[in-house]
Structure 1
């Protein structure tokens, strides 16, 4: 085993509105992961205050949230992320929360260690009425962290290859895509492993890792919240698109031991997807008649 080998992990767990209970559960998960040699851990989307409880039916669909039932707003410099930093200590942790800034609310992810917050990402792609409750983010960039150069995405972002590609081109070796990804509501399978939205979730994870030749951490909510049933399926995917660890359709922590830099070097040795691109030939406009 390389001296640079360390544990990386993704979590499937249920988090609701009780922030203190969430922080207590995060402390338990981090302590367990630390004992398993984990240095980088991805918690789910909205782990600090819970997600929205209902998704709309389509492009203009609405959630049924009341103003007093939406996720609590938190500041990047607030006590909640300070608590996560205290829990993390030498580990690097990615955690989802509802960020407040200048009167706007954002569905955000922060990468935190005992040294504090190293970066914040605001979810850009908004599905099924989520835009009624959150402003969209506007920046895709990677961050230097104690666990290496890291990019963050949130849930529906993984359906857009351009988002992960932008992070890879900015030097991200690892991308943590944290989610509150539900099962299908129109044709739900009795076995979550067979649900069509679980299969989409898994396909996106493997494809984004392989096409960018990065280590991919996919965390997710599990259980139920409001009318939503989450697919779990937290996983670590290697730069060859191979699933190194997975929770399957259950709560848990998927842990893989690897040397990230060595894994990327091996994957990119013969065919380097980022280096073999032909951006001079790729269209940068939306063709007439396409969605704007």
Structure 2
């Protein structure tokens, strides 16, 4: 399936590679900004060296500008690439439908084909745009962050490293629960399009036999099913942010407590050594 979808990229392959490259650069500059800020404080402010403040301040400003530039370009190129990819995919699907035999045509309803050419292609477009942007930027940020953290303090890095598998397992559990719900929603779209198509084609018959209330109730029933499934899926997806925030702040608390206990231990040693001896 992936090979078939990638066949619709064609002239937008270069745009996809450019988006990936720009996303990597954006992540790299985002990691460099805190390092430059640390240099400004350590080598400039604390040391009272204004030359170092100016030097690392200019580097910090340059990193921020380059991050902004690469981020804007990556967003622009990814939007054009994903829209072009979806246009090619929709055209390829339409051309493929024209080659169907009568036996194949009987297997697919008109509502199903309309859903595949509209809603499903739009979902693939959004997924592809997120893939070449967020799905690339996230792992690159993780790798760069772990490298920098290990260079600064390996003990702190191990805390983050231990949290990643637990957080990943919880996010995969959410995906496992949400996937069948959205699969059911996409199948219900076919029924919704079929009901709309029947009403548009048979509007004279519906009005002649006074079936407006029945058709309205049938539409509302299918629309309510889509709403309820979407609401259920979105409620489950809403747990992503609390889980990320919980582990992020949990790591901060563990790190702070670790250094707090270290300060208590140092204070204990100092007070013990300064305690006068009683003869």
- Greater percentage in helix: 2
Structure (1/2) with the larger strand percentage: 1
TM-score by length of 2: 0.26
- TM-score of the superposed pair, with normalisation by structure 1: 0.25
